[in-house]
Amino acid sequence: MIILDSTLREGEQTKGVSFSIEQKIAFAKLIDDFGVEMLEVGHPNVSPQIHEAVKAIAKEDLNAEVVAHVRAVKSDIDNALACDVDRIVIFLPTSDVHLEKKLGKNRQQVLDMITQAVEYTRDHGVNVRYTPEDATRTDIGFLVEVARQATECGADRVSIADTVGIATPALMENIVRTVSDSVNVELDVHCHNDLGLALANALAGINAGATCVHTTVNGLGERCGIVDLAPLVMSTKVHGYSTSGYKLDMLPEIYEFIESATNIPIGYNSPVIGRNAFAHKSGVHTDGVLKSPDTYEPYNPKIIGREREIVIDRYTGRLAVKKRLESLGYSISNETLMSIVNEVKIFSDANGGVSDDSLVQITGQILTQERS
């Protein structure tokens, strides 16, 4: 499996997000260093500045293949060719709803447009991916036909785009399997998250033979965005795929960069990267984690450069309080510990939590009481 990061293209289609050229170059270097294999950096026809940014990133001599996204229109393709990218993606919808209500074209006209656009681009010696936009709502027979046509014209990749995020894992698996059984081409999966199924759909696509997943940092993208990079990488790692090509401990830095460049906060409970991702709270959980972290952790947070956290409040059990007090320099007997835990619960009922300062105060009071 390889990863195409589209933070700079799909991600910039997020409401309120506009990266500067400098931010784009800095991000491209960062994510290239992380190790993604492809980097979709923009749609050069959208604006002069986007054109400049695509061109500037193409000059950076990155390890990743640099990809530009265009409509099946000659002027768009020329604009992308002028940026000197490694690969051009031509997207053109194939579902009946898009053909009838958006394009006003029939299937034969779409096939002709694909032929022209792919051949024209290939003639300039650039790698080509073709994306049937709204693939998951496309008649499967026609989807196979467009994939075959694009491949015969020289595209070496076709993207199965779940443009409106309506697929299920079963549907995605079925589509990917059918296309890959019928056409000799590498398949990408591009999964939108409108129903919260993007990651599950992408994994189903990989399972069925797709070889590339599209991601963005923090799951950015149109509407509810697409597959979030960090959980994609970690779920594939946990389930036995090789992630040795990725510098996993760079993830926090990459996410902080995008959080500050977009002003879109990382969710507290976002998988992998959220501040609560390794925060253990209830007495039962903290007891388990402190005895052996794998009782309640899917993987060691150190893999991605993070630390686990033990929350102290009314849910907390004895072991967690004991360890926290030890880290604060106290060595406490078991009877005293029981009194402190009881007091922590009462304090937390009244105050909604217990800071380290309050814990120290409570401990001090109980030790004084015991001495007197």
Least Cα distance to 229 among 23, 98, 38, 20 occurs for: 38
Q: How far apart are CB 106 and ligand HCA at their closest, in Å?
A: 20
Contacts of 28 (CB under 8 A, 6+ apart): 8, 39, 41, 57, 60, 62, 66
127: partner contacted, choices ligand HCA, Cu ion, none (Cβ within 5-8 A by kind): none
> What residues are paired with 42 via a beta bridge?
68
Two structure tokens written together for 78: 């020329």
Tokens encoding 289 = 């984690």
Q: Which two tokens stand for residue 271?
A: 């998988």
Q: How far is the CB of 162 from ligand HCA (least distance, A)?
A: 7
Quick check: helix, strand or coil at residue 21?
helix
Residue 10 is a binding residue for ligand HCA (CB under 6 A): yes
Residues contacting Cu ion: total by CB under 5 A: 1
Distance, CA of 264 to CA of 164 (rounded, Å)? 22
Closest CB to Cu ion among 50 and 366?
50
Q: Is 38 in the site for ligand HCA (CB under 6 A)?
A: no
Give the shortest CB-190-to-Cu ion separation in angstroms. Answer: 6
Running DSSP on this structure, what letter comes out for residue 93? E
Give the Cα separation of 348 and 225 in Å (integer): 38
Cβ pair 88, 127 in contact under 8 A: yes
Beta-carbon contacts of residue 67 (< 8 Å; ≥ 6 apart)? 4, 9, 38, 39, 40, 41, 85, 86, 87, 88, 89, 129
Closest C-alpha to 62, from 90, 86, 89, 88 = 86
Distance in Å, CB of 131 to Cu ion, minimum: 9
Site mask for ligand HCA (CB under 6 A), range 80-119, x = bound: ---------x-x----------------------------
Stretch that binds ligand HCA, among 48-56, 157-165, 301-309, 351-359 (CB under 6 A): 157-165
* 133 near ligand HCA, judged by CB under 6 A: yes
Of the pair 54, 226, the CB lying nearest Cu ion is at: 226
Q: Which of 95, 136, 159, 270 binds ligand HCA (CB under 6 A)?
A: 159
Binding mask 3-32 for Cu ion (x = CB under 5 A): -------x----------------------
Nearer to ligand HCA, 27 or 91 (CB): 91
Other CB atoms within a 10 A radius of the CB of residue 291 amount to 9
Whole-number minimum distance, CB 51 to ligand HCA, in Å?
18
Nearer to Cu ion, 10 or 188 (CB): 10
Query: What is the contact mask toward ligand HCA in residues 183 to 222, using x (rule: CB under 6 A)?
Result: -----x-x-x---------------------x-------x
Smallest gap from Cβ 222 to Cu ion, in A, equals 6
Residue given tokens 């053909």 in the structure block? 99
Rounded to whole angstroms, how far apart are CA atoms 248 and 297?
A: 17
Look at residue 189 and give its three-state secondary structure: strand
Q: How many residues bind ligand HCA (CB under 6 A)?
A: 13
Contacts of 361 (CB under 8 A, 6+ apart): none
CB 262 within 8 A of CB 297: no
Name the residues that contact ligand HCA, by CB under 6 A.
Answer: 10, 89, 91, 131, 133, 159, 161, 163, 188, 190, 192, 214, 222
Q: Catalog residues that contact Cu ion under the rule CB under 5 A.
A: 10
